[in-house]
Amino acid sequence: MKIDLRSEIGELEGVILHTPGPEVENMTPQNAERALYSDILNLSVARTEYAQLADLLNTVTKTFQVRDLLESILAQPAVRAPLILHICEAEGCLDLCDELLALPEKQLARQLIEGVVQPRDNLTRFLSKERFSLPPLHNFFFTRDAAMAIMDEILIGRMAKPVRSRESIIMEAIFNHSPQFSVNTINPVADKHQDPVATIEGGDLLVARDDIIVIGNGSRTSSQGIDFIIEQLKAQKDRKRHILVQELPHRPESFIHLDMVFTLLDRDCCMVFDPLVLSPSKYQTIHILIENGRVTSIREEKMLIDALRNLGMDLKPVSCGGKKDLWTQEREQWHSGANFFALAPGKVVGYARNDHTMEEMNRAGFEVIRAGDIISGHIRLDDVNRCAVTLDGSELPRGGGGARCMTMPIRRKPVEW
């Protein structure tokens, strides 16, 4: 499959998922915060809820599972040893190399994702409070962040938190070596001159149109990371590019990425968290214009919606949590109420639990449909116009993300604007 992603809403043709496993439960209340969780999930419930998302996507597009892709590249001797060495060097556990290399690829993939339990075979390890020699990847089911498709290339994420760095290493190896894909990867870490504080995560990057990229600048994506993206686009001298940067608060933690407050729903419609996106605030919206390989303009815009309208994307905002009550808006934003994922123009997926958001979607002309009705075949997606497909969600939202967070699209059909 060739990578091709030129919008947030084009009909989905390929997406990468990762079904949560024991790595989600491999934590305690004491280390949950370090694992970037505010609570511990019930794995059996989370897996049931995630299966609904996966089943829905399997009815409408081609899906790939991270674990399967990882197993396939670990079966290649030329990939296996360098990848294990890279991971062990990055995480300071070179003593694990031989042990890991001796494992069959299925078990090795499991260990790289679920973690390697530390043996208590000497005094230091016996006294250590750490349970794992190689920590679990607690957040890997949020496949959005570690790699991003932009046009026909893959940008590898440079994660803000070290606990997630191995996700990027694995995703880069998959795209570089899996026979399933044909793509060029770009990795900020490979640039020796890159600023060490440059971070980029996929939840902050939205391909609005093939000439417009919207990027959140907050706790997970730094201005230096955005500068790296600017340099990559400057090297493409074939056309004019617009980058719209939206500053984000670093607190509360529900604002970690732009897609927690702003997502695209259709050619003329978007989901917003009103208090940040539509209300005057100290958080700037900045418009950067790139022409003929250089930045020709950089200026502040009034609001993100206005900046998009000035570029020909006149979007009607739909309010997360409704328009009436700030309390409700904040509550539903916390549970990923703004985090929608498009299956096709005007056909999006979000959590059913956010009642006021779904009521607002219905008022905006979106038929609210249960995911189970599409999975069972009771309703065909092709037979409805605009729709909001609802996912069951009690445990998954507590992990800190929604449908967009849990999906990494790699190919979409072109959109007729």
Q: Could you give the strand order of the β-sheet that contains 269-272, starting from the edge strand earlier in sequence?
A: 262-266, 269-272, 316-319
φ and ψ at residue 54, rounded to 5 degrees: -65, -45
Residue among 401, 107, 56, 52 nearest 254 (CA): 401
Q: Where are the domains of the chain?
A: 12-412
CA distance 384 to 386: 6
Which CATH code for domain 12-412? 3.75.10.10
Structure-token match 């996507």, residue found: 57
Residue among 345, 373, 402, 331 nearest 56 (CA): 373
Structure tokens at 203: 């939840």
pLDDT, one tens digit for every residue, the chain (417 residues): 999 999 999 999 999 999 999 998 877 666 656 656 666 788 899 999 999 999 999 999 999 999 999 999 999 999 999 999 999 999 999 999 999 999 999 999 999 999 999 888 888 878 788 888 999 999 999 999 999 999 999 999 999 999 999 999 999 999 999 999 989 999 998 877 778 889 999 999 999 999 999 999 999 999 999 999 999 999 887 789 999 999 999 887 789 999 999 999 999 999 999 999 998 888 999 999 999 999 999 999 999 999 999 999 999 999 999 998 999 999 999 999 999 999 999 999 999 999 999 999 999 999 999 999 999 999 999 999 999 999 998 888 888 899 999 999 999 999 998
φ and ψ at residue 150, rounded to 5 degrees: -130, 110
Chain centroid offset of residue 365 CA: 27
Q: From its phi and psi, is residue 371 left (phi > 0), alpha (psi between -120 and 50) or beta?
A: alpha
Global pTM value: 0.94
- Taking only the tens place, the pLDDT of each residue in 226-271 is 999 999 999 887 789 999 999 999 887 789 999 999 999 999 999 9
Helix (H) or strand (E) holding 133: strand 132-134
CA angle 220, 225, 227 (to 5 degrees): 145
Helix (H) or strand (E) holding 134: strand 132-134
Chain centroid offset of residue 300 CA: 27
CB 183 within 8 A of CB 69: no
CB 159 within 8 A of CB 145: yes
CA distance 151 to 144: 16
Chain centroid offset of residue 392 CA: 19
